[in-house]
Amino acid sequence: MSTPGQEDYLEAIWVLTEQKGYARVTDLSEVLAISPASASKMVRRLHEAGLLTYERYRGFSFTGEGKKQGRLLYLRHRILVRLLTQLEMGSEADVLKIVEGIEHHFDVTRLDQLERLVLYIERHPGWWRKFLDSPMPADEQERRPQGPPP
C-alpha cells in the first residue's frame, strides 16, 4: 500500500470508533502501518480541515462532518468489497488489495446505484450464476484488440 491518504484515515477512524468507541493515534498507526508521527501529523491536518477535534494529550474525535464522511468512506469500501467478492476476483486478501487501490476513485455520491446492484446480485444468486458462467459474446470478442497495441 502506498502512503495512506486522508480518506484512509477517515475510514480507519470510523472503524475504530465503531469498534471501541474511540480512536487514538497509536491505534491509527497500527491499523495503517505508519509511524505515530505521521499519524499524529494527519490528525492535526484533519483537525484543521474541520473533520476532527484534536486536543493535545487528550486525543481526538470526529466532528459532525468528519463522522459523515468517515461513514460514507467505510460504506464505499464495504460495497466495493461485496461487489468484487461476487465477481469472484480472488481471495479475501486479493479483493481487499484491489479495493484499496480503486476505492478512492469512486465518487461517494454514486454509492446508491452500486449498492442497489450489489443487493440485487446477493438476492438473486441464480441470475448472477448465469451471468458468471456465460462466455464473452462472440461479436464482443472480435471487437477486442488483438495482441499488444501498435
Q: Footprint of Mn ion on this chain (CB under 5 A)?
A: 77
Q: Shortest approach of Mn ion to residue 69 CB, angstroms?
A: 13
Which H or E run contains 17? helix 6-20
Cell of 135: 462466455
**Smaller CB separation from Mn ion, 15 or 117:** 15
Q: How far is the CB of 4 from Mn ion (least distance, A)?
A: 9
Q: Which residue minimizes CB distance to Mn ion?
A: 77
- If the CB atoms of residues 53 and 78 are measured against Mn ion, the closer one turns out to be 78
How far is Cα 103 from Cα 112, in angstroms, rounded to an integer? 15
Q: How many CB atoms lie within 10 A of CB 67?
A: 17
Nearer to Mn ion, 77 or 82 (CB): 77
In the chain, the N- to C-terminal Cα span, in Å, equals 32
Minimum CB separation of residue 100 from Mn ion in Å reads 5
